[in-house]
Amino acid sequence: MIQRFLMSLAILVLATVCVRAQSAESLPHYQPGQTLDGAIHIWGDDQMNVVMKHWQDGFRKYHSTVRFETKLLGTGTGMAGLYHCVADVALMGRDATPSEIMAFEWVFPHKPLGVEVATGSLRRAGKTFALAVFVNKETAVTADTCAT
């Protein structure tokens, strides 16, 4: 149980440092403190699949025996995975709702720890994902507004 917690904490720290850093050169070189093995179970936001793959690849450079078992079915599954004890990390595309926090606290005697690692809204806490609009290059777009 403690090793599972340490692995989860290590990946969260690595992920946070990777996202928050100005450049990779400004970071201290990571030195693993102990050999880790086993599995890290990650549930949650299906939009984090590509980011998760990069985090896993980076983590495996230092802990090659660690396995990742991901179940990214949507943000709503993340907290449920934690309080049902089948996930070590929940990837959320939003803040946890009051009912998700309440359910977590029914199982554990503390509030869940949230670590913001990425946002689609530049320096706007609590805002949603940035919107992206894809247009076929053959489509004539004459304005960047929807106003009529």
In a domain, 142, yes or no: no
Q: State pTM to two decimals.
A: 0.65
Closest by Cα among 13, 100, 92, 15 to 46:
92
Instruction: Please give the tally of structural domains in the chain.
Output: 1
Pairing of strands 38-44, 89-91: parallel
In a domain, 64, yes or no: yes
In a domain, 138, yes or no: no
Closest by Cα among 102, 81, 92 to 12:
92
Domain that holds residue 56: 2-107
Q: How far apart are CA 29 and CA 106, in angstroms?
A: 39
In a domain, 42, yes or no: yes
Q: CA-CA distances (angstroms) from residue 44 to 29, 36, 130, 138, 148?
A: 29, 23, 19, 36, 39
Listed as ranges, residues in the chain with pLDDT below 50 are 17-21
The tens digit of pLDDT for each residue in 30-59 reads: 888 888 888 999 999 888 888 889 989 988
